[in-house]
Amino acid sequence: MGGERGVSPGNGAPSARRVSVWRRSRRAVAMPECPELHLAGRYINETCGGLVFEGGVQRSAVGRGPEVPFSSEAYKVTAASRGKELRLTLEPLGPGPSQALVFRFGMSGSFRLCEASSPPRHAHLRFFTRESPPRALCFVDPRRFGTWRLGEAWQPDRGPCVLLEYPAFRENVLSNLEDAAFDKPVCEALLNQKYFNGIGNYLRAEILYRAKIPPFEKARTVLEALKHREQNSSLTLSKKLKLKRDNPDLLELCHTVPMEVVAVDKNLFDPSDSDNYAAFKNWLQCYLVPGMSSLRDRNNRTIWFQGEPGPMAPKGQKSRKKHAHLKADPEAPTPMVTTRASKRRSGGAEEPPKPAVKEEEEKAVPDGPRKGRARGKKKVAAPPTLSEPDAPVRAKRNRTSARRGRGAAPAV
């Protein structure tokens, strides 16, 4: 679902780079997942495939990774992804050893190719092209949860990639169902990278929604039923197809749903594309969608779903529903409304109307000095207009009777 847009509504999914842009604009509600990493690798290979790089690798002072001890007069950059990791290979065009780095994107990591003289903020690693003027391939990570390490080996405790190694991924899950990892609710098991390498928060919600599985059903119960169905030789082909239609295969969805995200036109994963949020929003069917419910799992991660949560749902939590107005475009203009409070503050002066704000936001604004508030009250209590002649008379009588009640002498 990436950070960019451009997909036709409801068909494909946005590209990887978009996702990153979208996440930053929305305060990073979810980590980049296998589609984003895969599309990042595609972006690097397509934009840098014809470029020659030179010199050393520049690291920022706050980057969460080691210095890269590599320098070459001419080298090429290529990328490959696996699950939630991306490997960058720096290959000299002449003699000398190559250097590999394996990245994890954290919550907001991405790659961008830009002018070397004006790199983006939070560019923590930079690779410079041999051009005039030079450009830089930058690893950008505003939230600084992303990391990199030297070497080409993938992290050893991660299973096969759900996107690129589907047969091995499926076998790894179904042959290890006795593992304690499957004693947990299926929504929590789906985040275990030992078995579901590449699945994250938004993907698990979309997968379970399409599989019509309650998120807090026991993982082993779901997967053993799937294994039994797969091994049942008595089922005819037509019955198997009907079962698959009525009860989608959870493990197959772990592959096909991420594939929807990457099966888009290559032009859509330009990190500068500003339409990604809309495309991603159109593709989502469950995650952050109005009308869906949500609960926090035992890892304090929010899972979105429809219907009943399942027998292993956390006790004491109330399911919250996503309301339609919460999904409004964050860049849509705020309607201009003059509230009573703004009228009191302005004292009736002719000022441009101010946007309406939520009550919590009004409380967050510090009060002005007492004198200012007192003057504001006096203005509000100004005599009414001549179109209401009875009001001043009644107000005067009321004040007089009140003084008499307190023993005040009548006015002469």
Banded model confidence at residue 369, pLDDT cuts 50, 70, 90: very low
pLDDT-above-90 percentage for the chain = 52
Average confidence score pLDDT of the chain: 75
Tokens 């995200």 found at: 261
Give the closest residue to 341 by CA, choosing from 384, 378, 377: 377
Q: In what order do the strands lie in the sheet with 293-296?
A: 302-305, 293-296, 320-321
SS3 letters across 161-188:
ECCCCHHHHHHHHHCCCCCHHHHCEHHH
Note whether residue 135 is domain-resident: yes
DSSP summary character for residue 62: T
Predicted confidence at residue 391, as pLDDT, reads 43
Residue that wins the pLDDT comparison between 123 and 25: 123
Residue that wins the pLDDT comparison between 237 and 211: 211
Predicted confidence at residue 89, as pLDDT, reads 97
**CATH (domain of 126):** 3.20.190.10
Note whether residue 119 is domain-resident: yes
Banded model confidence at residue 308, pLDDT cuts 50, 70, 90: very high
* Residue 157 in this model has a pLDDT that exceeds 80: yes
* Residue 256 in this model has a pLDDT that exceeds 90: yes
For 377: left if phi > 0, alpha if psi spans -120 to 50, otherwise beta; the answer is alpha
Strand, helix or coil for residue 324:
helix
* Chain Cα centroid distance, residue 400: 65
- Range with the largest mean pLDDT of 25-39, 73-87, 378-392: 73-87
Note whether residue 388 is domain-resident: no
- For 333-363, the pLDDT digits (tens) are 333 434 444 444 444 444 433 433 333 333 3
* Residue 401 in this model has a pLDDT that exceeds 60: no
How many angstroms separate the CA atoms of 101 and 87, rounded? Answer: 6
**φ, ψ of residue 92 in degrees (nearest 5):** -60, 145
Structure tokens of 123?
A: 């560019």
- For 268-277, the pLDDT digits (tens) are 444 445 556 6
Average pLDDT over residues 393-400: 44
Beta-strand pair 302-305/320-321: unpaired
Of 4, 33, 36, 217, the active-site residue reads: 33
Note whether residue 296 is domain-resident: no
Banded model confidence at residue 237, pLDDT cuts 50, 70, 90: low
Q: What is the CA radius of gyration of the chain?
A: 30
- For 2-44, the pLDDT digits (tens) are 333 333 333 333 333 443 433 333 333 447 899 999 999 999 9
**Residue 197 near residue 161 (C-beta atoms within 8 A):** yes
Note whether residue 7 is domain-resident: no
Structure tokens of 64?
A: 């969460």
Q: Which of 70-74, 321-325, 384-388 has the lowest mean pLDDT?
A: 384-388
Q: Which of 50-59, 96-105, 231-240 has the lowest mean pLDDT?
A: 231-240
pLDDT-above-70 percentage for the chain = 63
How many angstroms separate the CA atoms of 19 and 105, rounded? Answer: 12
Task: Name the domain count of the chain.
Answer: 1
**Residue 147 near residue 103 (C-beta atoms within 8 A):** yes
Banded model confidence at residue 233, pLDDT cuts 50, 70, 90: low
Note whether residue 76 is domain-resident: yes
Give the closest residue to 92 by CA, choosing from 74, 109, 78, 106: 74
Of 84, 85, 184, 215, the active-site residue reads: 84
pTM for the full model? Answer: 0.68
Cα dihedral 181→187→188→192 (10° resolution): 70
Give the closest residue to 110 by CA, choosing from 150, 137, 71: 137
* Residue 54 in this model has a pLDDT that exceeds 50: yes
* Residue 59 in this model has a pLDDT that exceeds 50: yes
Average pLDDT over residues 191-209: 97
Q: Which of 2-16, 115-129, 170-184, 371-385 has the lowest mean pLDDT?
A: 2-16
State which amino acid sits at residue 20.
Answer: S
Q: What is the DSSP string of 346-396?
A: HTT---PPPBP--HHHHHHSPP--HHHHHHHHHHHTSPPPTT-THHHHHHH
Note whether residue 133 is domain-resident: yes
Q: Which of 137-151, 230-244, 385-399 has the lowest mean pLDDT?
A: 385-399
Sign of CA dihedral 125, 127, 128, 129: negative
Beta-strand pair 110-115/85-92: unpaired
Cis amide linkage into residue 35, ω under 30° from 0? no
Note whether residue 89 is domain-resident: yes
* Residue 56 in this model has a pLDDT that exceeds 60: yes
How many angstroms separate the CA atoms of 79 and 37, rounded? Answer: 10
Q: Is 33 a catalytic residue?
A: yes
Predicted confidence at residue 228, as pLDDT, reads 82
Banded model confidence at residue 118, pLDDT cuts 50, 70, 90: confident
Q: What is the extent of the structural domain holding 61?
A: 16-150
Of 32, 142, 160, 271, the active-site residue reads: 32
Alpha helices in 212-333 (DSSP H): 219-231, 237-246, 250-262, 276-283
Give the closest residue to 38 by CA, choosing from 56, 59, 13: 13
- Range with the largest mean pLDDT of 8-12, 291-295, 368-372: 291-295
Structure tokens of 272?
A: 């500068």
Residues β-bridged to residue 34? none
* Residue 381 in this model has a pLDDT that exceeds 60: no
State which amino acid sits at residue 228.
Answer: H
Structure tokens of 14?
A: 């946005």
